[in-house]
C-alpha cells in the first residue's frame, strides 16, 4: 500500500510520517501529495492569527474541544515562525493541548521553523492539504501575526480569526501588522482583563472606517480585488451580501464565549457557501499556491544552475550602476542577446563594461 492509500484508510502513524515528508518537501512527500490532492477540498480551513501571547493556542484548544463535541474530526497546525522567543511557547502549547491528545479524532502538528517563510508557507499548504484529504473536517491553523509571511499563511484559510487582547499596549496589534484586513471574525480574548472595552471600541471604529467589501488577492504578481457577489447590484443587495466581521469576546482559559465563537465560524462558512465566496476563495488560494510554487521552483532551478560567485559579480555591477537590475536579470537568465544594449540610455555608464 502506498503512503497515500494508508493515509486515506485512516492510519495515523503513516499520516505522521507523510506529514514529515511533506514538510521537508521530499520527492516521496510530493508524490503522496499528488495522489491525495483529488481527495482534498472538503475541509473548513480556519486560520487563527494575532500578536504573540494573545491566547491563540488556548483559544484553538477550546475551539477544537467544541468541534469535537459536535463529532467533527479536527486537525491543528501550529505554525512556528523563526523567532527564538517561540521556543518556550511551543512547549507550552504541547502542555495546553494535552486534553486533546489521545483523542483519535484530533491530530496536532507543529510546523518546525526552518528556512524562509516562503518555504514555510509552501510546506504548510501541503500539510493542510494532507489533513483535508485524510478526512479532517476542521483544520485550525495557528500563526503569529507578525508580518506578510504570516498573512500569506493565514490566506490559506476560508475563515480567518484575528485575535486581540487588552493590555498589549495602546495600539491594536493587528493594525500594526496589517492583518486586520484579512479578518473574518475579530476575537477579543482575555476579556477578563481590564481594558477590554477600549480594545473592542478601537476595533469597532477600525471596522467602520474600512470594513472589507472585497478581498485582495495576489495573482501573477498583480493585486486583484475579488468583489463579493451581488455587490454590482443595488445598495440593498449589497448590504445583504456583505460579511461584516463580528467582534467576539472570549476568555479562553475559562471557555467563555467559545460556543458563540464556534457559531460565528459556522455562520461564516454558510455565508461563504451561499454567496459563492467559498469557491472564489478556494480558487484564489490555489492560484496563489501555484504561483508561489512556480516562483520558488524557478528560483531553485536558477540557483542550481548559476554559481554564487557569478551572481555576486553581477550584483556588484548593479551596485556600481554599470548594470541595471533589468539588464542583470537578462544576463542571469541568459537572454542578454535579446536586449538591444546599444539602444540603452544610461547616464551612469562610463561607456565601458
Ligand atoms: N487572563 C487570561 N489569560 C489567558 C486567556 N487566554 C490565554 N491566556 C493566557 O495567556 C498566555 C498566553 O497564551 P497562549 O495561548 O500561549 O497565547 P498564544 O497567542 O498562543 O502565544 P504565542 O503562540 O506565543 O504567540 C497563557 O499564559 C494563557 O494561559 C484569557 O482568556 N484570559
Ligand atoms: Mg501559541
CA angle 86–174–152, rounded 5-degree value = 70
Q: How far apart are CA 118 and CA 120, in angstroms?
A: 5
Q: What is the pLDDT of residue 84?
A: 39
Nearest CA to ligand 1 atom 7: 55
DSSP string, 155-176: TT-SEEEEEE-TTS-SS-HHHH
Is the beta carbon of 87 within 6 A of some atom in ligand 1?
A: no
Ion ligand 2 neighbours, Cβ < 5 Å: 56-57
Q: How far apart are CA 89 and CA 261, in angstroms?
A: 24
- Answer positive or negative: Cα dihedral of 284, 289, 291, 292: positive
* Burial (0-12, 13-18, 19+ Cβ within 10 Å), 126: buried
Average of pLDDT values for 120-136? 89
Is the beta carbon of 189 within 6 A of some atom in ligand 1?
A: yes
Is the beta carbon of 227 within 6 A of some atom in ligand 1?
A: no
Using the predicted structure, report yes or no on whether residue 33 has a pLDDT greater than 60. Answer: yes
- Mutate which of 85, 144, 167, 253 for ligand 1? The one with the most ligand atoms within 8 Å of its CB, which is 253
Q: Where are the alpha helices (DSSP H) in 70-216?
A: 86-96, 117-133, 148-154, 173-177, 196-210
Is the beta carbon of 52 within 6 A of some atom in ligand 1?
A: yes
* Residues present in the chain in total: 353
Using the predicted structure, report yes or no on whether residue 216 has a pLDDT greater than 50. Answer: no
Say how many Å lie between the CA of residue 113 and the centre of ligand 2: 14
Q: Which of 71-85, 110-124, 152-166, 312-326 comes out lowest in average pLDDT?
A: 110-124
Helix (H) or strand (E) holding 110: strand 106-111
Q: What is the pLDDT of residue 51?
A: 82
Q: How many CB atoms lie within 10 A of CB 156?
A: 25
Spatial CA neighbour of 83 closest among 19, 145, 158: 145
C-alpha cell of 87?
Answer: 521556543
Say how many Å lie between the CA of residue 126 and the centre of ligand 1: 28
Q: What is the pLDDT of residue 223?
A: 52
The percent of residues in the chain predicted with pLDDT above 70, rounded, is: 71
Say how many Å lie between the CA of residue 148 and the centre of ligand 1: 23
Q: How far apart are CA 130 and CA 140, in angstroms?
A: 13
Say how many Å lie between the CA of residue 143 and the centre of ligand 2: 8
Is the beta carbon of 54 within 6 A of some atom in ligand 1?
A: yes
Q: What is the pLDDT of residue 207?
A: 76
Average of pLDDT values for 137-148? 81
Of 55 and 224, the one with more pLDDT: 55
Q: What is the pLDDT of residue 238?
A: 44
- Mutate which of 48, 51, 58, 249 for ligand 1? The one with the most ligand atoms within 8 Å of its CB, which is 58
Is the beta carbon of 53 within 6 A of some atom in ligand 1?
A: yes
- Mutate which of 88, 96, 98, 252 for ligand 1? The one with the most ligand atoms within 8 Å of its CB, which is 252
Q: Which of 54-68, 120-134, 157-171, 179-193 comes out lowest in average pLDDT?
A: 157-171
Say how many Å lie between the CA of residue 187 and the centre of ligand 1: 13
Using the predicted structure, report yes or no on whether residue 83 has a pLDDT greater than 50. Answer: no
Instruction: Work out which ligand 1 atom sits closest to the CA atom of 86.
Output: 24
Total-model pTM: 0.80
Is the beta carbon of 249 within 6 A of some atom in ligand 1?
A: no
Say how many Å lie between the CA of residue 224 and the centre of ligand 1: 36
Is the beta carbon of 58 within 6 A of some atom in ligand 1?
A: yes
Give the bridge partners for 188, in sequence order: 164, 249
Q: How far apart are CA 188 and CA 59, in angstroms?
A: 11
The model's pLDDT over 218-245, given as tens digits with 9 standing for 90+, comes to: 445 555 555 544 444 444 344 456 788 8
Q: What is the pLDDT of residue 59?
A: 94
Average of pLDDT values for 55-72? 93
The model's pLDDT over 168-181, given as tens digits with 9 standing for 90+, comes to: 655 555 565 566 77
Amino acid at each position: 500500500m502506498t503512503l497515500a492509500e494508508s493515509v486515506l484508510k485512516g492510519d495515523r502513524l503513516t499520516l505522521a510520517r507523510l506529514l514529515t515528508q511533506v514538510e521537508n518537501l521530499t520527492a516521496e512527500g510530493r508524490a503522496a501529495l499528488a495522489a491525495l490532492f483529488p481527495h482534498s477540498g472538503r475541509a473548513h480551513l480556519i486560520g487563527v492569527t494575532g500578536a504573540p501571547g494573545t491566547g491563540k493556542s488556548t483559544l484553538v484548544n477550546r475551539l477544537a474541544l467544541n468541534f469535537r463535541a459536535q463529532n467533527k474530526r479536527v486537525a491543528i497546525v501550529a505554525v512556528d515562525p523563526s523567532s527564538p522567543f517561540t521556543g518556550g511557547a511551543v512547549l507550552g502549547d504541547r502542555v495546553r493541548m494535552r486534553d486533546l491528545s489521545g483523542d483519535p479524532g484530533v491530530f496536532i502538528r507543529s510546523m518546525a521553523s526552518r528556512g524562509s517563510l516562503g518555504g514555510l508557507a509552501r510546506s504548510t499548504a501541503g500539510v493542510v492539504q494532507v489533513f483535508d484529504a485524510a478526512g479532517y473536517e476542521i483544520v485550525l491553523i495557528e500563526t503569529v501575526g507578525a508580518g506578510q509571511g504570516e498573512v500569506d499563511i493565514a490566506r490559506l484559510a476560508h475563515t480567518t480569526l484575528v485575535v486581540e487582547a487588552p493590555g498589549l499596549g495602546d495600539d491594536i496589534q493587528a493594525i500594526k501588522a496589517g492583518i486586520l484586513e484579512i479578518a473574518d471574525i475579530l476575537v477579543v480574548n482575555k476579556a477578563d482583563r481590564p481594558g477590554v472595552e477600549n480594545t473592542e471600541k478601537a476595533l469597532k471604529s477600525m471596522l467602520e472606517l474600512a470594513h472589507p467589501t472585497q478581498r485582495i488577492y495576489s495573482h501573477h504578481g498583480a493585486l486583484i480585488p475579488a468583489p463579493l457577489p451581488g455587490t454590482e447590484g443595488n445598495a440593498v443587495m449589497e448590504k445583504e451580501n456583505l460579511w461584516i466581521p463580528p467582534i467576539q469576546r472570549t476568555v479562553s482559559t475559562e471557555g467563555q464565549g467559545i460556543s458563540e465563537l464556534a457559531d460565528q465560524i459556522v455562520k461564516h462558512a454558510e455565508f461563504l457557501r451561499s454567496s459563492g465566496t467559498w469557491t472564489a476563495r478556494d480558487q484564489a488560494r490555489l492560484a496563489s499556491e501555484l504561483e508561489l510554487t512556480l516562483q520558488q521552483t524557478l528560483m531553485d532551478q536558477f540557483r542550481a544552475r548559476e554559481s554564487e560567485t557569478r551572481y555576486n559579480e553581477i550584483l556588484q555591477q548593479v551596485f556600481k550602476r554599470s548594470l541595471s537590475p533589468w539588464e542583470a536579470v537578462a544576463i542571469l537568465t541568459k537572454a542578454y542577446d535579446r536586449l538591444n544594449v546599444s539602444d540603452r540610455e544610461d547616464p551612469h555608464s562610463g561607456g565601458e563594461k
